[in-house]
Amino acid sequence: MIPVRGYRDAQVAVLGLGRSGLTAALALRAGGAIPVVWDDNEAARQKALDEGIEVADLTKDKSWEDVVSLIVSPGIPHLYPTPHPIVQKAWSHGVVVDNDIGLFFRSYATQDWEKFDTIPKVICVTGSNGKSTTTALIQHILNAAGRNATMAGNIGRGVLDLPPARDGDVVVLELSSYQTDLARALAPDVAVFMNLSPDHLDRHNGMGGYFAAKRRLFIEGGPDKAIIGVDEPEGRFLANQIRQDKTGDPVIAISSGQKLQGQGWSVFARKGFLAEWRKNRQVASIDLRDIVGLPGAHNHQNACAAYAACRSLNIPPKVIEAALKTYPGLPHRCQVLGKGKDVLFVNDSKATNIDAAEQALKAFKNIRWIVGGQAKEGGITALAPLFDRVKKAYLIGEATTDFASQLGTTPQSQCETIERAVAAAVADADAGDVILLAPACASFDQYPNFEKRGDAFIAAVTPHLDG
């Protein structure tokens, strides 16, 4: 655990006692602060009491008399669509509002680092899609290269649950827009911006606010290296804002699908090949086409981002190439489960929006598509140009009726559940087909999260796998 610095003997309130909130309270106490906590859930409050942490009803003005800071968990709105009432209480009492990411950046570096031969590094990854895979891939490459790398943040463990830094450590953080928006301190050594597509717009009052939340990591964080996906206008704008001159420094531009030219440092993937260019010449190339853990153009962008991050830490291209070939992939993210009777089964339960589902559809052909759940605004109409890749759709969840009409003439079957969808798809499948779970929907109509939905798919598929 990383003891929080700067609050010794001061009272700090924590709102929300999920994974990050309870860890923040414990880390505050480890650093000498006096945490007081609140959660609307009685079981969560009891868990804090079991840890010996004081529970205070922060809806009451009397609870704020000695509080100097409020730490807010990422799932709690602090501005849009409406600030949480307890956040507004903090404002009215003059209490500064922060989150665990801000606490991490003010506490991770210590005087002990002066004794280290290699100063620890923090790599932060943000964007709409691909964050988790890129974060995990960076950690995988660094560990394969002999560096001690740990991932945390929006994936794995809470940031304050990490151990104190050791000589040469690298922390790789996946950061959501909720986390970057509120943190009062941001200081990554390397920051990665993957891409931007509409998501969480209610929490940011539109695309402008959403982009602004992610932009903070770069403009206020001031990384030594900024790895920027330039396939959307926002990425090109951000890269232009950060670069100092025509050499592009400190930007490493990345792309999936376009060749990047110029004097700067770039990494891009085209037709299945990753290329690194510097000063208008190619310095390395990797064939990505047969890497099982990274199927499709969207994963090639993830590979470019991870490659660039590791090159910024001077990991050799050949070492990165070898590590890419051993990357197993993350569960529920275009996860290749295996084959049965020459039919490929792919679990992309994390494809909770149409942009992620689009990438999955682009990655395969002859698709038997399991789709549906709790639909998001717009449904799947924007995916119509890819329906010719779908041999048949198998509809599940709340979205069944709406998606049936949106699919038009695409062959379809209304299955309601994943188990029925898998059974129907297996019965219909021909050799060379791909049975793909890419719901383009939230899971909350039938499952508490996308992981449980993916687990249900795996359980239904397992009896049909070879071996």
- Annotated binding residues for ATP: 127-133
Q: Mapping DSSP to helix (H, G, I), strand (E, B) and coil, where does residue 412 land? A: strand
Binding-site residue ranges: 127-133
Q: How far apart are CA 149 and CA 137, in angstroms?
A: 11
Taking the C-alpha atoms of residue 279 and residue 400, their distance in angstroms, rounded to an integer, is 52
b/e map of 374-398 (b: 16 or more CB within 10 Å)? bbbeebbeebeebbebbbbbbbbbb
Query: SS3 for 185?
Result: coil
Strands 170-174 and 149-153: parallel
Half-sphere exposure of 367 (CA within 13 A, CB side): 26
Nearest residue to 459 via CA among 410, 425, 426, 422: 422
CB 126 within 8 A of CB 214: yes
Residue 291 CB burial class (10 angstroms; 0-12, 13-18, ≥19): buried
Q: What's the number of CA atoms in the CB half-sphere (13 Å) around residue 467?
A: 4
Could you tell me which residues come within 8 angstroms of residue 319 by beta carbon, excluding any fewer than 6 positions away? 141, 144, 145
SS3 state at 464: helix
The torsion defined by the Cα of 403, 408, 413 and 415, in degrees rounded to 10, comes to 10
Contact status, residue 294 vs residue 324, Cβ threshold 8 Å:
yes
| CA gap 281, 262 in Å, rounded | 9
